[in-house]
Amino acid sequence: MQSFDVAVIGGGSAGSAAVKQAARRGANACIIQDSHFGGVCLNLGCMPAKAMLYASNQYWSMKNLHSVVPGVEVSGSIDGRAFMKRVHDLVLELREKTESGMASRDDITIYRGSARLTGRHSLSIDAHDGTHEIRADSIVIATGSHPIRPGFAPWQNKRIMVSDDALQAADLPESILIIGGGVIGCEFATAYSQLGIRTHLVEMADKLVPTMDNSEISGFITSSLSGSGCEILLDTQVCGIKETSDGLSVDVNGREIQVSHVLVSVGRAANIENIGLENAGVDTREGIIAVDECCRTNIDHIYAAGDVAEHMQYAHLAERMGRVAGDNAAGGSLTDERNIVPIGIYTNPQVAIVKNRDIEFDPADLALMKYPYTESGTAKIYGYAQGKVVLRIVKETGQLVEAYWWGDHAVDMIHEAVLSIKNNIKLSTIFNTIHAHPSFQEIFSEMAENYTDRKVRKNHTINLCM
């Protein structure tokens, strides 16, 4: 039986980060991955989805080019197969780079196969070259998640898809009904509707992205999707799906909608089954493996990271958790409370949010600052009329508590707010930091300037450009 200091199960964002961090600390480390390295994000999630979104955004922008180049009209149809081939080619290129990068590591042992815990220090690997039994002082579980397939859908019909299927499809759908108005559903609705595909988005709740406690953000997304021609059906339930001669008929609250395809996007579930958790005594809670700020489970030397151990399913959080888990598995002491995590929604325009989820403030001590894109010279240059930046701050100190950014480039722009909240950087410091001009990022600087001016005048009723 071969022995290792650290064994990592799973080669996605979390697992890859974990094994690299363990090796960085000098541990004799191995990683077990059955499919391609890069996990869901690279192969079946973030990267192909954003490739679709970028291309659809470009098409939408060209169709609306007359707004910035008066007199120009652009027309043309989409070749669905060519569109999806570009997506697949991009994934293949990124996958090959990731695979070759991992294969080139001489400080990491790679097993191709699936692993199962057989004890608190032992694993059995059903590998491509046979069965291997290994022992490890520490173990990191990073098995990821999978799309939920609810029982009401006739899954034998290949026109009914989850996100994995939609991103691997050879062609675009002629028309589509999306079940689930969360982040993933809204992003797919953006891509399809901007391409001129008849799109219906069904959500049981009374707003889109219902898990986010911010009705204004839901309103932003609703507005942008409606603007691209997507029909949004809130407070609506899918009662049945029937096959027709040329597609599907979906019963939504008694109304029959005919489409070529249905995309079910009602969440993802952690991959906690059939990995031997019971053999090692690892506890689960609310469908995930329970971990602390060190990504440690109830078993001291067993760690878990990424979607399998966190309800917030974001690749960047998974990577951070993997680094924390790998560091501690190799004898380190890295921690992360996972209380400050930026969230990006790649609708058009984008939405980005960050806040400290663990600190409560008296509302009387806080103030809102709002800055619409209509006041930004840079936004006017680019022809972006839709957008707003909102900061929630402590009035007396200028400490940033929460930020959300709705508009083009929002996900890129949110990181100054992330850095400020994480490191308690006050708005006065932002004001005294030179920002490039013209840029979208200088909106943050202008808001800091406004706070500083009001602070000087001892006026805490901060309300910029309501």
162 burial class (0-12, 13-18, 19+ CB within 10 angstroms)?
buried
Residue 60 shares a structural domain with residue 97:
yes
Residue 45 shares a structural domain with residue 8:
yes
For this structure, is 316 an active site residue?
no
Q: What is the band of 360 on the pLDDT scale with cuts at 50, 70, 90? A: confident
SS3 242: strand
Q: Is 307 annotated as a binding residue?
A: yes
CB–CB of 163/192 below 8 Å? Answer: no
Give the residue-averaged pLDDT of 370-398.
93
Residue 36 shares a structural domain with residue 80:
yes
Query: Per-residue pLDDT for 461 more than 50?
Result: no
Residue 240 shares a structural domain with residue 251:
yes
Give the residue-averaged pLDDT of 401-405.
96
Q: 191: domain range?
A: 160-266
Backbone angles phi, psi at 425, to 5 degrees: -85, 125
Q: Is 183 annotated as a binding residue?
A: yes
Distances (CA, A) of 345 to 184, 192, 407: 8, 16, 11
Residue 368 shares a structural domain with residue 294:
no
Q: Cα(308)–Cα(278) distance, rounded to whole angstroms?
A: 15
What's the CATH number where 76 sits? 3.50.50.60
The pairing of beta strand 198-202 with beta strand 238-244: unpaired
Give the residue-averaged pLDDT of 183-201.
98
Query: Per-residue pLDDT for 465 more than 50?
Result: no
Q: Is 203 annotated as a binding residue?
A: yes
Distances (CA, A) of 458 to 308, 397, 450, 454, 455: 49, 12, 12, 6, 5
Residue 140 shares a structural domain with residue 280:
yes
SS3 155: coil
What's the CATH number where 448 sits? 3.30.390.30
**Domain count of the fold of the chain:** 3
Residue 23 shares a structural domain with residue 34:
yes
Q: Is 218 part of any domain?
A: yes
Q: Is 143 annotated as a binding residue?
A: yes
Which regions of 12-101 does DSSP assign to beta strands (E)?
29-33
Q: Is 49 part of any domain?
A: yes
Q: Is the peptide bond before 154 cis (omega within 30 degrees of 0)?
A: no
Q: Is 230 annotated as a binding residue?
A: no
Q: Cα(323)–Cα(15) distance, rounded to whole angstroms?
A: 9
Q: Cα(120)–Cα(136) distance, rounded to whole angstroms?
A: 9
Query: Per-residue pLDDT for 41 more than 90?
Result: yes
Query: Per-residue pLDDT for 455 more than 80?
Result: no
Give the residue-averaged pLDDT of 228-242.
97
Q: Cα(149)–Cα(265) distance, rounded to whole angstroms?
A: 9
Query: Per-residue pLDDT for 297 more than 90?
Result: yes
Q: Is 10 annotated as a binding residue?
A: no
Distances (CA, A) of 319 to 241, 284, 295, 311: 38, 21, 12, 14
Beta bridge partners of 262: 160, 177
Query: Per-residue pLDDT for 453 more than 90?
Result: no
Written as six digits, the tokens of 319 are: 């990577």
DSSP string, 91-145: HHHHHHHHHHHHHT-SSEEEEEEEEEE-SSSEEEEEETTEEEEEEEEEEEE---E
Residue 320 shares a structural domain with residue 195:
no
**What predicted TM-score, i.e. pTM, was given to this entire model?**
0.94
Q: 89-98, 295-304, 337-346, 452-461: which has the minimum mean pLDDT? A: 452-461
SS3 284: strand
Q: Is 461 annotated as a binding residue?
A: no
DSSP state for residue 308 in the 8-state scheme = G
Q: Cα(282)–Cα(141) distance, rounded to whole angstroms?
A: 10
Q: What's the mean pLDDT when you consider all of the chain?
A: 95
Q: Is 145 annotated as a binding residue?
A: yes
Q: Is 267 annotated as a binding residue?
A: yes
Q: 75-79, 96-100, 286-290: which has the minimum mean pLDDT? A: 75-79
Q: Is 182 annotated as a binding residue?
A: yes
CB–CB of 158/238 below 8 Å? Answer: no
Q: What is the band of 457 on the pLDDT scale with cuts at 50, 70, 90? A: low
* Other beta carbons within 10 Å of 129: 9
Q: Is 262 part of any domain?
A: yes
Query: Per-residue pLDDT for 385 more than 90?
Result: no
Q: Is 68 part of any domain?
A: yes
Of residues 188, 193, 202, 199, the one with CA closest to residue 259: 199
Q: Is the peptide bond before 349 cis (omega within 30 degrees of 0)?
A: yes
Q: Is 176 part of any domain?
A: yes
Give the residue-averaged pLDDT of 438-443.
95
Q: Is 337 part of any domain?
A: no
Residue 14 shares a structural domain with residue 121:
yes
Q: What percent of the chain has pLDDT over 90?
A: 89
Q: Cα(403)–Cα(418) distance, rounded to whole angstroms?
A: 8
Q: Is 412 annotated as a binding residue?
A: no
Residue 140 shares a structural domain with residue 194:
no
Query: Per-residue pLDDT for 233 more than 60?
Result: yes
| Angle 236-238-241 from CA coordinates, rounded to 5° | 155
Query: Per-residue pLDDT for 225 more than 50?
Result: yes
SS3 353: strand
Query: Per-residue pLDDT for 463 more than 60?
Result: no
Residue 6 shares a structural domain with residue 125:
yes
Give the residue-averaged pLDDT of 141-170.
97
Domain end among 266, 297, 316: 266
276 burial class (0-12, 13-18, 19+ CB within 10 angstroms)?
middle
Q: Is 212 part of any domain?
A: yes
Query: Per-residue pLDDT for 458 more than 60?
Result: no
CB–CB of 387/372 below 8 Å? Answer: yes
Chain-centre distance for alpha carbon 139: 26
52 burial class (0-12, 13-18, 19+ CB within 10 angstroms)?
buried
Give the residue-averaged pLDDT of 261-272.
98
Q: Is 416 annotated as a binding residue?
A: no
Give the residue-averaged pLDDT of 246-254.
96
Catalytic residue, from 311, 415, 437, 460: name it: 437
Q: Is 462 part of any domain?
A: no
Query: pLDDT tens digits, residue range 8-39?
Result: 999 999 999 999 999 999 999 999 999 999 99
Q: 18-22, 67-71, 352-356, 395-399: which has the minimum mean pLDDT? A: 67-71
Q: What is the band of 216 on the pLDDT scale with cuts at 50, 70, 90? A: very high
Q: Cα(455)–Cα(462) distance, rounded to whole angstroms?
A: 9
Residue 258 shares a structural domain with residue 280:
no
pLDDT at position 358 is 85
Q: What is the band of 460 on the pLDDT scale with cuts at 50, 70, 90? A: very low
